[in-house]
A and B are shown apart, each in its own frame.
Chain A
Amino acid sequence: MIHTACRRRLRLTALPLLLGLAACGGDDAGTGPDGGAGPDAGPTACTAMFDEVTSFFADADATALGACTTAAGLRVADSVMNLAGVTIDNNGATETPCVEVRCDADFAYIASNALPHYDFVQTTPNALAATPMMTRVPLAPQPIAAPAGAADATTLTGCTAAYDAYLSNPDQGTNNEPSGFCTTGATSYVRDQLGSGDSYFAKLPCLGAEATTISGVPGYGPNEARMPDPWGNPAYFYPDVYGESYVPADPRGGAALDLCGGHTGMTMYYHAVNAACFARDDDGRPAASYVDGASTWDMVASLGDACTEESGIVAWSIDGYPIMGPCVCVARAGDGSCTDVRRARSSWTYEGLASWGNAPNEDQVLGLDGDVCADDDACCPAGVDGCDYRCTPVVATAGNGTAIEHRCTLLDYSWCTSRFTDRTAADTSGETYVYLDRCNGFEGPDGYAYHATLSFPLLQGCFHGEPTGAVVVSGGGGAP
């Protein structure tokens, strides 16, 4: 935790400097050969933030920060976008996003100003402002062992409160995220009893950042806030394909993610990642405009089609593991080439809030929850306006396995409408996909990595490793 004294100092002294720095141009910045704007590059608007590293992390030492030279550090540095010379349009104003990486012995530090790398798509009245931000990523991620006090996952039944609340009054949400699968307090551990043995994980923050994208923007969990759709899934407002009327036209489209996966509340936030938007060219520069990335949008294909090429890194979790795109390399040849690329498939299936109870009036209130559907009208016979459902392609239970199907998805209670099933023993040898673990990760030939999916939990379902890093954002405000 950042100390109170440090918070005060940051607010009173460092912030004006940092905010000023964030507003400075970086057009003349050099380009690191690794694709990231590393120490060998010229200064950018983010460069001076490293001198103020103790404003973000009180225990850091600015003099110890330098070029990332270890394999782990270089992997982070090489993965971030080269934003040298990139400017974006922000509601008519020109802004300069920046992201840079430095390392000390234990961590990589990603400094950024939390701007998207493409022209700002303003889906809500929340403005976008350059905001100094630094993320600390542990270079030696530590898988969670067997922490004392870890709760048994089967005891996390808080969703029954959501079920009761919804049946009592669908328009009145619970005050707090009810599931128990994310935390609003200190780091909290859970034990899964899997077929392969016990597995431990740490909960994501319900409302805080868990990762940072390679463009230097915070990544969040799979739920929105209490308003307007209580703890809802931001992805259920998405269109199926590019060209379909979608989020902003929806009167209930409070979440309003753009088709790259983000929205704003001063800084940009990503709840999901459309990997096409985060493609880089050979110099590490953004390879796609917003239109380029958005035009690839196809939810069903992104959930179910076979992959032809392994995905790159799109973000870094604060536990030190990368978040990669949805195509997983599951085997490599001796020359390093990938010999088996599969689609990442979440092991969370849409089961609906109705799965958490059996009240007599359930059918009246939740009767359509999880039903197979063709369009929104099928889920909203009284009209889409004010309806709590959307027809969304999801990973659904099919026999002993899963299938990609359109289901009536409840906009509320993201964690309570999807359920994790242990699929470590599932035989996917003849399939074009592999199942991810509870955290949305996979242990591959390059080690463990999360994989961004457009089904729950989108980026991560939990922390596979100890979340010893953090995302510190200075200034601004708004809504994850």
Chain B
Amino acid sequence: MRRGRAPAAVAATLGVAVLACGLPTPPDDVGPDAGAVDGGALPLAAGDRVLYGLAWSWDGAVRDGDAWVVTNDLGYEIGVTSLHLATVRAELVPCGGATGDGVAAWRWGPGDARADHVTTSDVSRIDVAVVEDAADGAARDYGVGTAGATTYCQAFVLAAPLDADGADGFALAGDAIAVAGWYRAPGGARTDFDARVPLGDGGLRDLAVAIPASADVRDGDGVAAAVRVVVTRHPAAALDGIAPDQLGDAELAWAVMRGLLATATATWQRGEAG
């Protein structure tokens, strides 16, 4: 498959258009240790509007000059001066849905059949291609989806290679993530890095209740939504377990992306309209 280059504005038309206005400030308590309520099963009705948001939390990092600086669990000091991530898809996952809803045994071979791809996507799925600039910590509206009549337990987001520019003009140029900065191994010298990788990966995160009380949730056009779901990435936590001096550039970028997806949190707040 070969495709033409997609400027961000064009890429956004892959699915629901990116909302024109900025995201309402994400709830303060979306961090991994910030007190979001676990077990946030989210019952929705068919047709409920779901407002997706993307956010970043640099909790655990300190700003030093042009870098967010983290000392990770392996003792590496890592300064991130630029971090751009391509997110292309989000959806809610019904409780017990994509993770299987029962235990069974099969003999697979001639005579037996099993396949069911309908579980790979929920009606709440939106395909919106955006290049986010994480270093500025900005939160943003991502898109509006429509729920099915079910109870949701997880959110799925997908990062993928994208030939598009971010709002800050950064060209991702076919990569899924680009991260630049420096690191210093324990007792070692500072080493600069500029890492990219053109590979995609997804994150499946449990939903938690950010703020139990409902709020007036509206999209950028002022249209009320039943719920706002915010996926927050936590770069400081994502950098744990990474030994940059033992990784090539592509492996380093891949490790950072996987960390971002694995440590992301997904929270929701019921809209008053819902």
Task: Check: B101 CB closer than 8 A to any chain A CB.
Answer: yes
Question: B129 to A125, Cβ gap below 8 A?
Answer: no
On chain B, the residues within 8 Å of A244 by CB distance are: 1-3, 161, 174, 198
With most chain A CB atoms within 10 A of its CB, the pick from B104, B108, B110, B129 is: B110
Question: B111 to A247, Cβ gap below 8 A?
Answer: no
Question: B109 to A470, Cβ gap below 8 A?
Answer: yes
- Please give the distance in Å from B24's CB to the nearest CB on chain A: 26
Selecting from B50-58, B88-96, B183-191, the interface stretch reads: B88-96
- Interface residues contributed by chain A, number (CB under 8 Å): 92
Task: Check: B268 CB closer than 8 A to any chain A CB.
Answer: no
User: CA–CA, A463 to B110, complex, Å?
Assistant: 10
On chain A, the residues within 8 Å of B115 by CB distance are: 206-207, 224-226, 479-480
Question: A265 to B106, Cβ gap below 8 A?
Answer: no
User: CA–CA, A252 to B253, complex, Å?
Assistant: 26
With most chain A CB atoms within 10 A of its CB, the pick from B99, B101, B118, B174 is: B99
Question: B204 to A375, Cβ gap below 8 A?
Answer: no
Task: Check: A197 CB closer than 8 A to any chain B CB.
Answer: no
Task: Check: A124 CB closer than 8 A to any chain B CB.
Answer: yes
Question: A470 to B107, Cβ gap below 8 A?
Answer: yes
Task: Check: A160 CB closer than 8 A to any chain B CB.
Answer: no
Question: A10 to B251, Cβ gap below 8 A?
Answer: no
Question: B110 to A209, Cβ gap below 8 A?
Answer: no
User: CA–CA, A477 to B102, complex, Å?
Assistant: 8
What 1/0 mask marks residues of chain B from 203 to 237 whose CB sits below 8 Å from any chain A CB? 11000000000000000000000000000000000
With most chain A CB atoms within 10 A of its CB, the pick from B116, B120, B129, B204 is: B120
Task: Check: B83 CB closer than 8 A to any chain A CB.
Answer: no
Question: A248 to B89, Cβ gap below 8 A?
Answer: yes
Task: Check: B132 CB closer than 8 A to any chain A CB.
Answer: no
What 1/0 mask marks residues of chain A from 78 to 114 whose CB sits below 8 Å from any chain B CB? 0000000000010110000000000000000000000
| Known pairs A205-B112, A206-B113; A127 contacts B200 (CB<8 A) | no
On chain B, the residues within 8 Å of A187 by CB distance are: 110-111
Question: B198 to A377, Cβ gap below 8 A?
Answer: no
Select one of B93, B111, B200 contacting A249, CB under 8 A.
Answer: B200
What 1/0 mask marks residues of chain A from 230 to 273 whose CB sits below 8 Å from any chain B CB? 00000011111011111111110011100100000110000000
Question: A385 to B14, Cβ gap below 8 A?
Answer: yes
Question: B98 to A374, Cβ gap below 8 A?
Answer: no
Chain A residues 1 to 41 lying within 8 A of chain B, measured CB to CB, are 1-2, 7, 10-11, 15, 19
What 1/0 mask marks residues of chain A from 105 to 148 whose CB sits below 8 Å from any chain B CB? 00000000000000101111111010000000000000000000
Task: Check: A66 CB closer than 8 A to any chain B CB.
Answer: no
Select one of A15, A186, A239 contacting B1, CB under 8 A.
Answer: A239
Select one of B3, B98, B258 contacting A89, CB under 8 A.
Answer: B258
| Known pairs A226-B117, A477-B102; A1 contacts B91 (CB<8 A) | no
What 1/0 mask marks residues of chain A from 421 to 449 whose CB sits below 8 Å from any chain B CB? 00000000000000000000000000000
| Known pairs A91-B204, A129-B99, A391-B2; A469 contacts B109 (CB<8 A) | yes
A-side interface mostly: loop
| Known pairs A89-B262, A187-B111; A7 contacts B105 (CB<8 A) | yes
- Please give the distance in Å from A392's CB to the nearest CB on chain B: 6
Task: Check: B169 CB closer than 8 A to any chain A CB.
Answer: no
Question: A242 to B110, Cβ gap below 8 A?
Answer: no
- Please give the distance in Å from A35's CB to the nearest CB on chain B: 25
On chain B, the residues within 8 Å of A55 by CB distance are: 105
Select one of B107, B108, B258 contacting A119, CB under 8 A.
Answer: B258
On chain B, the residues within 8 Å of A209 by CB distance are: 108-109
Question: B119 to A479, Cβ gap below 8 A?
Answer: yes
Task: Check: B146 CB closer than 8 A to any chain A CB.
Answer: no
On chain A, the residues within 8 Å of B89 by CB distance are: 248
On chain A, the residues within 8 Å of B261 by CB distance are: 91-92, 122
Task: Check: B4 CB closer than 8 A to any chain A CB.
Answer: yes
Question: B161 to A289, Cβ gap below 8 A?
Answer: no
Task: Check: B254 CB closer than 8 A to any chain A CB.
Answer: yes
- Please give the distance in Å from B136's CB to the nearest CB on chain A: 24
Task: Check: B127 CB closer than 8 A to any chain A CB.
Answer: yes
- Please give the distance in Å from B21's CB to the nearest CB on chain A: 24
On chain B, the residues within 8 Å of A259 by CB distance are: 199
Question: B2 to A125, Cβ gap below 8 A?
Answer: no
User: CA–CA, A206 to B110, complex, Å?
Assistant: 8
Which A residue sits closest to B113, measured CB to CB?
A207
Selecting from B61-69, B74-82, B152-160, the interface stretch reads: B152-160
Task: Check: B37 CB closer than 8 A to any chain A CB.
Answer: no
With most chain A CB atoms within 10 A of its CB, the pick from B102, B127, B202 is: B202
Select one of B4, B158, B160 contacting A377, CB under 8 A.
Answer: B4
User: CA–CA, A129 to B96, complex, Å?
Assistant: 13
Which B residue sits closest to A256, measured CB to CB?
B120
User: CA–CA, A332 to B6, complex, Å?
Assistant: 50
With most chain A CB atoms within 10 A of its CB, the pick from B6, B118, B175 is: B118
Question: B200 to A246, Cβ gap below 8 A?
Answer: yes
Name A's B-contacting residues (CB within 8 A).
1-2, 7, 10-11, 15, 19, 55, 89, 91-92, 119, 121-127, 129, 183-188, 202-210, 218, 224-228, 236-240, 242-251, 254-256, 259, 265-266, 289-291, 294-295, 318, 374-377, 384-385, 390-392, 406, 463, 467, 469-480
Taking A122-B203, A206-B115, A470-B108 as known contacts, 10 extra A-B pairs with beta carbons closer than 8 A to each other, sorted by chain A number, are A89-B258, A125-B119, A127-B99, A240-B1, A254-B121, A266-B100, A375-B2, A391-B1, A472-B107, A477-B102
Could you list 29 examples of A-B contacts with CB < 8 Å? A1-B107, A89-B262, A91-B203, A125-B122, A125-B154, A125-B204, A129-B99, A187-B110, A206-B115, A209-B108, A225-B115, A227-B116, A238-B1, A239-B1, A240-B2, A245-B198, A248-B89, A248-B202, A249-B162, A291-B197, A291-B251, A318-B109, A376-B1, A377-B4, A391-B1, A473-B106, A475-B100, A475-B104, A476-B100
